[in-house]
């Protein structure tokens, strides 16, 4: 029976006419209604091709709601009524992504896109030891919205999450159910048992205008731009509010895919657990399963042809119904994507080309010198507010005095402000022709605006710094926030607002004072009740047992990140040895010469990092703080230093993939590095071994195809943690 005939039959026979009829046919009618209304929603919102009049749709929807009210047990996850909005939430739960939602590197011109293509071809040649590999690219508009992940199990939507920090986001399932372009149940057949689809949620330009017009008529606050409106709508604790917002989701890729419960037939081609062999074909498949996809997505056989698409789409940009800020270039072949792999935060096989920045003209009213965690003074231009790049801009960074001199900018000047995407607004140039006689030159202050300490600019640096160190409250706040952060001392519960109060009320003057805080003092702070204060005291106590690398990183020494701190710890083994080498750096006397260059023998430590280490440990006040921290009970084991050739995995490259169950990824990586191995993010012919946990995908497949040794987590632990002294 055709859809139109079923519609006429249902409309001609009201379901609730008699109790007997209702009881006999309710389940069957309910299934028909769900299917019909979902079909209509797909045609109306995804295909822009309605299949029935609004009045008929409203009558069908009313019948559906009546059945659900009478027999609640019939309600299914894919019911169109779920789009109206569920009950309000108390908070959003956290969701860990099975595959990280990584960000993309950026390109701003044709040369950078050509360099991207050349990097990929060079890497593929090295891995394959063969001639240049041809690369097909897929280009798609870079939508200016909010990235989300939606997961389906056996075709039914079960979870939706924000990107968050890439590793974990917030559970926004009930809000996403209200979006008409998100299928509650996949269409067709052949989909995996578990399918994660990633996409961008946005508000079209026309819908944004109507949204703000409605807000204005109700005397409500208007949104600044469509992206903010979309983000705010998704984070409503009441899904009924989200349901009233005109949100659209455009699918642009897949994430975690599991065909385990779906037999793989000989005529169903699957590459590396993807739903197709190429990215372009996977987008077509998602469209067949009911997702809204972008009609401008195009595949090209070379980088030159793909670059030509940039000008084409840029010309179309003003006429598009949605906002974009660039084009995403992706390698089409999933097999090539697997070979290219990832760096720490981004895939090698994709890049975002950003359109030229949007600009506006305004006036520079004054300069404010902000003091950062390291004491750097940054000039911030206070502007006459101007709308540019979708937001109202009143501040713009000038970076440093060199930038001020390069621009020849003065207070009172008429300036051009540039903003591209989420980049911090900048002053692009000065309109000299409009300069007035009362425009005043910008001078670097001689004193810190926060603590009034003298400022200093080294000959080899463009940055001017406050010399107040730990005496400067601006630096102290940021130094403490860094000190207690997760990758440093990891003091849970000591958030930014609490740190601000502690410093502003002069309850702490150095990071060492954290460990002398008392319960009654903390409980008296805003946002801290007795239980929270007690938990914070416990967290501070727990943080006293740490590692040398974490402690070194927590000190906030310029250019000393996690990796450098770890390399220093492993090379010297103890803090006194590091301090001795740092202070000795640069000395040329006979007594000290043997130690003067030892610092730059450490991996990742060059002359610049060595100078920062020397400057930090040469200041008596910093050593006093370290002594106070150790007196407060901070401790860590020294490291048994071995030469590289004594380490069992020296010179080997290992890869971790999948979910580890006993160890965290960081713990496994640290163990491998302590044994001399380099831990890489992708598998190549140079990989010595792969440690694979549950959910391992393309990396495991590639390792097996190359004949590389693979260990599960148990085998890794037995080989290195149980037998290694």
Q: With respect to CATH, is domain 3-75 assigned 1.20.120.1200?
A: no
Q: What pLDDT shows up at residue 416?
A: 92
- pLDDT bin (cut points 50, 70, 90) of residue 7 is very low
Q: Which residues of 688-717 are buried (b: 16+ CB within 10 A; e: fewer)?
A: ebbbbbeebbbbbbbbeeeebebbbbeebb
The residue ranking higher by pLDDT, 221 or 174, is 174
Q: What pLDDT shows up at residue 2?
A: 45
Taking the complete model, does pTM exceed 0.75, yes or no? no
Is the confidence at residue 375, as pLDDT, over 60? yes
Q: What pLDDT shows up at residue 699?
A: 84
Instruction: Tell me how far apart the alpha carbons of residues 358 and 644 are, in angstroms, rounded to a whole number.
Output: 52
Instruction: Tell me how far apart the alpha carbons of residues 372 and 375 are, in angstroms, rounded to a whole number.
Output: 5
Is the confidence at residue 246, as pLDDT, over 90? yes
CATH class of 358-441: mainly beta
Active-site residue (options: 98, 142, 477, 566): 142
Instruction: Tell me how far apart the alpha carbons of residues 470 and 509 are, in angstroms, rounded to a whole number.
Output: 8
Task: Find residue 288's DSSP bridge partners.
Answer: none
Q: What pLDDT shows up at residue 273?
A: 62
Task: Give the model confidence (pLDDT) of 380-400 as tens digits.
Answer: 999 999 987 667 889 988 888
The residue ranking higher by pLDDT, 526 or 9, is 526
491 and 497 in contact (C-beta within 8 Å)? no
Task: Give the model confidence (pLDDT) of 420-466 as tens digits.
Answer: 544 568 898 999 999 999 999 998 898 888 877 778 776 666 778 88
Q: Mean pLDDT across the stretch 282-295?
A: 94
Per mean pLDDT, which range of 145-149, 678-682, 688-692 is the poorest?
678-682
Per mean pLDDT, which range of 224-233, 291-300, 493-502, 613-622 is the poorest?
613-622
Instruction: Tell me how far apart the alpha carbons of residues 73 and 431 are, in angstroms, rounded to a whole number.
Output: 69
Q: What pLDDT shows up at residue 650?
A: 80
Average pLDDT of the residues of the chain: 83
Pick among 3.10.450.50, 1.20.120.420, 3.40.50.10190, 3.40.30.10: CATH of 645-721? 3.40.50.10190
- pLDDT bin (cut points 50, 70, 90) of residue 35 is confident
Q: Cβ of 315: how many Cβ atoms within 10 Å?
A: 9
Q: What pLDDT shows up at residue 259?
A: 80
What would the DSSP string read from start to end of 616-631?
HHH-HHHHHHHHHHHH
Is the confidence at residue 129, as pLDDT, over 90? no
% of the chain exceeding 90 in pLDDT: 34
Instruction: Tell me how far apart the alpha carbons of residues 138 and 350 are, in angstroms, rounded to a whole number.
Output: 10
Question: What size, in residues, is the chain?
Answer: 725
Active site residue 477: no
Closest by alpha carbon to 174, among 255, 81, 248, 109? 81
Q: Mean pLDDT across the stretch 139-143?
A: 94
Instruction: Tell me how far apart the alpha carbons of residues 388 and 427 are, in angstroms, rounded to a whole number.
Output: 12
Distance of CA 169 to the CA centre of its chain: 9
- Provide the edge-to-edge strand list for the sheet that holds 146-153: 156-162, 146-153, 194-202, 248-258
- Alpha carbons within 13 A on the beta-carbon side of 220: 9
Distances in Å between the Cα of 136 and the Cα atoms of 125, 212, 289, 641 are 16, 42, 25, 49
Q: What does the longest C-alpha to C-alpha distance in the chain come to? A: 105
Instruction: Tell me how far apart the alpha carbons of residues 81 and 75 are, in angstroms, rounded to a whole number.
Output: 9
Q: What pLDDT shows up at residue 4?
A: 44
162 and 148 in contact (C-beta within 8 Å)? yes
Instruction: Tell me how far apart the alpha carbons of residues 529 and 493 are, in angstroms, rounded to a whole number.
Output: 12
Q: Mean pLDDT across the stretch 195-212?
A: 92
- pLDDT bin (cut points 50, 70, 90) of residue 54 is low
- pLDDT bin (cut points 50, 70, 90) of residue 16 is very low
% of the chain exceeding 70 in pLDDT: 85
Instruction: Tell me how far apart the alpha carbons of residues 267 and 185 are, in angstroms, rounded to a whole number.
Output: 24
The residue ranking higher by pLDDT, 59 or 432, is 432
Q: What pLDDT shows up at residue 270?
A: 41
Q: With respect to CATH, is domain 468-543 assigned 3.40.50.720?
A: no
Task: Give the model confidence (pLDDT) of 475-516 as tens digits.
Answer: 888 889 889 998 899 998 898 889 888 988 889 988 999 999
Domain map of the chain by residue range?
3-75, 137-354, 358-441, 468-543, 548-631, 645-721
- pLDDT bin (cut points 50, 70, 90) of residue 593 is very low
212 and 228 in contact (C-beta within 8 Å)? no
| CATH number at 548-631 | 1.10.150.20
Q: Cβ of 588: how many Cβ atoms within 10 Å?
A: 7
- pLDDT bin (cut points 50, 70, 90) of residue 348 is very high
Per mean pLDDT, which range of 347-351, 448-452, 492-496, 588-592 is the poorest?
588-592
The answer to whether domain 137-354 and domain 358-441 are alike in fold is no
Closest by alpha carbon to 6, among 36, 39, 26, 31? 36
| CATH number at 137-354 | 3.30.470.30
Q: What pLDDT shows up at residue 715?
A: 86
Which tokens hold the place of 561?
A: 């990140």
Q: What pLDDT shows up at residue 559?
A: 80
Q: Which residues of 97-135 are buried (b: 16+ CB within 10 A; e: fewer)?
A: bbeebbebebbeeeeebeebbeebeebbeebeeeeeeeb
Is the confidence at residue 272, as pLDDT, over 50? no
């Amino acid at each position: 029976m055709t859809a139109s005939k079923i519609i006429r039959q249902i409309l001609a026979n009201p379901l609730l006419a008699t109790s007997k009829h209702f009881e006999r046919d309710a389940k069957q009618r309910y299934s028909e209604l769900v299917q019909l209304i979902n079909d209509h929603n797909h045609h109306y919102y995804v295909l822009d091709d309605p299949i029935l009049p609004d009045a008929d749709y409203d009558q069908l929807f009313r019948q559906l709601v009546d059945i659900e009210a009478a027999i609640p047990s019939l309600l299914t996850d894919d019911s169109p009524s779920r789009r109206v909005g569920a009950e309000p939430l108390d908070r959003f739960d956290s969701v860990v992504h099975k595959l990280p939602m990584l960000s993309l590197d950026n390109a701003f011109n044709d040369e950078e896109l050509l360099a991207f293509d050349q990097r990929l071809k060079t890497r593929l040649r090295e891995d394959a030891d063969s001639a240049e590999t041809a690369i097909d690219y897929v280009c798609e508009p870079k939508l200016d919205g909010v990235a989300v992940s939606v997961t389906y199990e056996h075709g039914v939507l079960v979870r939706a999450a924000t990107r968050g920090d890439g590793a974990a986001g917030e559970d926004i399932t009930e809000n996403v159910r209200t979006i008409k372009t998100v299928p509650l149940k996949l269409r067709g057949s052949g989909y995996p048992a578990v399918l994660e689809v990633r996409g961008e949620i946005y508000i079209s330009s026309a819908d944004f205008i109507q949204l703000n017009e409605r807000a204005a008529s109700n005397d409500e606050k208007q949104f600044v731009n469509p992206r903010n409106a979309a983000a705010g709508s998704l984070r409503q604790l009441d899904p009924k509010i989200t349901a009233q917002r005109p949100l659209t989701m455009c699918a642009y890729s897949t994430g975690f895919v599991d065909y385990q419960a779906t037999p793989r037939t000989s005529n169903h081609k699957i590459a590396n657990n993807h739903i197709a062999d190429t990215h372009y074909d996977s987008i077509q498949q998602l469209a067949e399963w009911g997702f809204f996809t972008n009609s401008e997505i195009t595949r090209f056989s070379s980088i030159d042809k793909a670059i030509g698409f940039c000008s084409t789409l840029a010309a179309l940009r003003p006429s598009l119904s949605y906002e974009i800020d660039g084009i995403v270039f992706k390698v089409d072949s999933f097999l090539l994507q697997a070979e290219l792999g990832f760096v720490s935060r981004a895939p090698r096989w994709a890049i975002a080309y950003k359109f030229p920045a949007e600009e506006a003209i305004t006036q520079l009213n004054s300069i404010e010198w902000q003091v950062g965690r390291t004491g750097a003074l940054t000039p911030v231009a206070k502007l006459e507010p101007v709308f540019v790049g979708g937001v109202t801009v009143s501040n713009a960074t000038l970076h440093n005095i060199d930038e001020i001199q390069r621009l020849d900018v003065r207070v009172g000047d008429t300036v051009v402000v540039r903003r591209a995407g989420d980049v911090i607004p900048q002053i692009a140039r000065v309109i000299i022709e409009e300069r007035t006689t009362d425009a005043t030159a910008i001078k670097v202050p001689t004193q810190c605006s926060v603590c009034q300490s003298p400022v200093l600019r080294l000959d080899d640096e463009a940055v001017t710094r406050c010399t107040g160190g730990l005496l400067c409250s601006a630096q102290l706040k940021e130094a403490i926030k860094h000190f207690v952060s997760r990758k440093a001392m990891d003091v849970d519960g000591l958030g930014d607002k609490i740190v601000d109060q502690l410093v502003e009320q002069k309850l702490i003057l150095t990071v060492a004072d954290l460990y002398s805080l008392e319960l009654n003092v903390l409980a008296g702070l805003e946002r801290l009740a007795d239980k929270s204060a007690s938990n914070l005291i416990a967290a501070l106590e727990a943080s006293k047992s740490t590692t040398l690398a974490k402690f070194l990183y927590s000190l906030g020494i310029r250019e000393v990140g996690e990796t450098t701190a770890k390399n220093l710890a492993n090379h010297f083994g103890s803090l006194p040895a590091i301090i001795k080498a740092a202070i000795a750096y640069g000395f040329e006397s006979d007594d000290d010469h043997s130690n003067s260059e030892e610092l730059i023998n450490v991996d990742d430590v060059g002359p610049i990092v060595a100078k920062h280490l020397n400057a930090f440990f040469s200041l008596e006040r910093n050593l006093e703080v370290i002594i106070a921290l150790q007196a407060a009970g901070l401790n860590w084991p020294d490291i048994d230093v071995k030469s590289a050739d004594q380490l069992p995995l020296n010179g080997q490259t290992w890869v971790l993939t999948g979910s580890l169950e006993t160890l965290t990824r960081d713990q496994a990586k640290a163990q491998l590095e302590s044994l001399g191995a380099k831990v890489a993010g992708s598998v190549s012919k140079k990989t010595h071994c792969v440690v694979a946990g549950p959910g391992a995908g393309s990396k495991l497949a590639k390792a097996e195809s190359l004949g590389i040794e693979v260990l599960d987590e148990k085998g890794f632990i037995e080989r290195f943690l149980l037998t290694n002294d």
